[in-house]
Amino acid sequence: MIKGLLRVVAYIVVCVLLQVTVFNHIHLFNLMTPFLYLYAIAKIPAGFTRVQVIWMAFITGLLVDIFSGTLGIHAAASTLIGYYRNPLMHAFTDKEMLEDASPSYVTLGTGAFMKYIVCLTFLHHTALYAIESLSLFDPPYLLLRIASSTVLTTLCLFVIEAFHMERRSGEL
């Protein structure tokens, strides 16, 4: 459990640093922004309880808010996905995961992991952009931002996981 906690803290530190220094400044077509810090939340080991996951997600979102100058929108959206992470993870797989296993292509299976990441990302982006807009003044633009950012973030997370999995297989 301690090893898993240290891994999660390392993911959070690296992902938050990358998010606030690099990815917050990427706005493709003024629509798409990748949110890499979701990777840290998605990779929390299966043995963590729902309350522990919610706290980790909240702290991750709060750190992004503090360093980005936003007023709690990342903390709110991250807390929401922290709440739904365990049920989503279990909804897409039939196998029992080891307590210290993190969700990945290997532990969940490729299809299940992809569905898990897409749902987690879509849920996060829907909450984030709905809170950010504070109204439904321009619903088509809001939906376009949610969809396009979900696609971009999901692709980034898939690529990171593929490199992470490749690096792990090289160590064996």
Task: Domain ranges for the chain, please list them.
Answer: 2-171
CA gap 131, 64 in Å, rounded = 16
Q: Which fold would CATH assign to domain 2-171?
A: Arp2/3 complex 21 kDa subunit ARPC3 (1.10.1760)
Q: How far apart, in Å, are the Cα atoms of 123 and each of 9, 58, 160, 172? A: 23, 15, 20, 35
Q: Helix and strand tally (H, E) in the chain? A: 7, 0
- d(CA 103, CA 2) in angstroms, rounded, equals 17
- Whether the per-residue pLDDT at 172 is higher than 70: the answer is no
Taking the model in full, what pTM does it have?
0.91
Among the listed residues 156, 52, 136, 49, the one whose alpha carbon sits nearest the alpha carbon of residue 99: 49
- Positive or negative, the Cα torsion across 51, 52, 56, 59? positive
Band of residue 135 on the pLDDT scale cut at 50, 70, 90: confident
